[in-house]
């Protein structure tokens, strides 16, 4: 009998049956659950947060709760719902903190979706309301993905060097952005930027995924295994880990492959496959099923157009011999002037 543990449940139920009694209590609990989802990679915490909103009595939500609901919607890939809530806050709120958070969240959402003109507008508005490294990082990211990564990198490096020395949130935000732009430019210094973030915030799974993926593409399999160790319950890191295991003939490759196969099958059966990118990558690089991988990678790219999403779709289309999808992607990249050393598949 196979007694392998596929998932470890939280020790105590994170959502007590009794509802919060005030909007402040509700906001605190939702924020805590979203934080746990980000630091653990466990999507069930998002479900717990959603339950709280669903059970909250019908009434207009205040600005803080709208921003949190938008953040939750974005995490659940419900981007239009997130945009609607954030727009309401920006139209009505006079609270500076709420406006800044809404503006930053909306800028990030538009960037993730590849709506760069809209993202640039939000970044510029953010700079007016909250000037500094975070707003400049926001603009640098958009500039890098729309034709000018070299200038964006130089400008942000200069600002970081002239800024505060302590490891503030703004500084880490800039370091993460510089890592992404450096990788786009094909520069090894990307690793230094990402490791600076992880040294201060080891639970930053987004940065950990980028670093692990970067090493995987460079065939640094031992580095990948070190970065992903202990994170097998996080789908994105587990998939990268098992690919490194397969390519380095690791003795435990079959165990993790089986666990992921069962995990994805269960998620599909429950209709709860949240991360299509991870499943598509598993199908492409582990199961060698390019046609099925292409279907999920295409569905994922319709809503998320980060470099990892774009490269995955390029690779899946190439593996499946789908010239129409390759042509569409190359046209989209050319339209935005986007070049990236991480996807040589974009070359005609």
The 3-state secondary structure of 273-317 reads CCCHHHHHHHHHHCCCCHHHHHHHHHHHHHHCCCHHHHHHHHHHH
- Of 221, 144, 136, nearest in space to 184 by CA: 144
The pTM (predicted TM-score) of the whole model is: 0.91
Euclidean distance between CA atoms 267 and 272, whole angstroms: 5
Q: Which of 281, 275, 314, 280 shows the shortest CA–CA distance to 295? A: 280
pLDDT for res 9: 42
Helix (H, G, I), strand (E, B) or coil at 311: helix
* C-alpha closest to that of 182 among 172, 192, 195: 192
Those residues whose C-beta lies under 8 Å from the C-beta of residue 229, and which sit 6 or more positions away, are 241
Tell me which DSSP letter residue 218 carries: T
Whether residue 95 contacts residue 63, with contact meaning beta carbons closer than 8 Å, is answered with yes
Neighbouring residues of 133: CB distance < 8 A, sequence distance ≥ 6: 159, 160, 163, 170, 171, 173, 174
- Could you tell me the two tokens for 298? 């295409």
Instruction: Give CA–CA dist 227/210, Å, rounded.
Output: 10
Determine the pLDDT at residue 348.
Answer: 62
Neighbouring C-beta atoms of residue 265, cutoff 10 Å: 12
Residue linked to tokens 């279907």 = 295
Note down pLDDT in tens along the chain; length 348 residues: 333 333 344 444 455 557 888 999 999 999 999 999 999 988 889 999 999 999 988 778 999 999 999 999 999 999 999 999 999 999 999 999 999 999 999 999 999 999 999 999 999 999 999 999 999 999 999 999 999 999 999 999 999 998 765 458 899 999 999 999 999 999 999 999 999 999 999 999 999 999 999 999 999 999 999 999 999 999 999 999 999 999 999 999 999 999 999 999 988 877 666 689 999 999 999 999 999 999 999 999 999 999 999 999 999 999 999 999 999 999 999 999 999 999 988 876
> Residue 59: its pLDDT value, please?
79
Distance of CA 52 to the CA centre of its chain: 24
CATH architecture group of domain 11-119: Alpha Horseshoe (1.25)
Q: What is the largest CA-CA distance in the chain?
A: 61
CA–CA dist 282, 90 (Å, integer): 39
Phi/psi zone of residue 89: left (φ > 0), alpha (ψ -120 to 50 degrees), beta? Answer: alpha
- Please state, as a whole number, how many other Cβ atoms lie within 10 Å of the Cβ of residue 116: 22
Distance CA 153, CA 181 (A): 6
Give yes or no for a contact between 79 and 48, defined as CB atoms under 8 angstroms apart.
no
């Amino acid at each position: 009998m196979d007694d392998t543990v596929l998932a470890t449940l939280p020790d105590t139920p994170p959502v007590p049956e009794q509802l919060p009694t005030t909007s402040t209590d509700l906001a605190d609990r939702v924020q805590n659950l979203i934080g746990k989802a980000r630091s653990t990679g466990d999507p069930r915490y998002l479900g717990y947060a959603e339950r709280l909103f669903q059970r909250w009595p019908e009434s207009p939500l205040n600005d803080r709760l709208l921003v949190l609901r938008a953040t939750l919607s974005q995490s659940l890939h419900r981007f239009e719902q997130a945009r609607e809530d954030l727009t309401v806050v920006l139209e009505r709120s006079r609270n500076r903190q709420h406006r800044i958070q809404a503006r930053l969240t909306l800028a990030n959402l538009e960037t993730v979706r590849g709506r760069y003109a809209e993202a640039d507008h939000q970044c510029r508005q953010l700079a007016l309301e909250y000037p500094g490294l975070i707003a400049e990082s926001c603009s640098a990211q958009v500039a890098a993905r729309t034709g000018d990564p070299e200038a964006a990198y130089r400008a942000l490096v200069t600002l970081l060097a002239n800024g505060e020395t302590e490891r503030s949130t703004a500084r880490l935000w800039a370091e993460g952005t510089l890592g992404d732009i450096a990788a786009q430019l094909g520069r090894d210094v990307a690793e230094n930027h990402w490791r600076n973030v992880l040294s201060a915030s080891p639970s930053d799974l987004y940065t950990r995924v980028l670093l692990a993926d970067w090493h995987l593409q460079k065939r640094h399999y031992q580095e990948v295994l070190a970065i992903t160790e202990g994170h097998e319950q996080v789908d994105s890191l587990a998939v990268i880990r098992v690919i490194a295991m397969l390519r380095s003939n690791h003795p435990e490759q079959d165990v993790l492959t089986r666990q992921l196969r069962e995990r994805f099958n269960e998620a599909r059966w429950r209709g709860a496959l949240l991360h299509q990118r991870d499943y598509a990558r598993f199908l492409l690089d582990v199961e060698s099923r390019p046609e099925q991988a292409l279907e999920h990678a295409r569905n994922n790219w319709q809503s998320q157009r980060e470099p990892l999403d774009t490269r995955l779709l390029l690779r899946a289309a190439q593996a499946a011999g789908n010239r129409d999808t390759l042509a569409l992607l190359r046209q989209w990249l050319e339209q935005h002037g986007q070049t990236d050393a991480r996807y040589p598949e974009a070359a005609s």
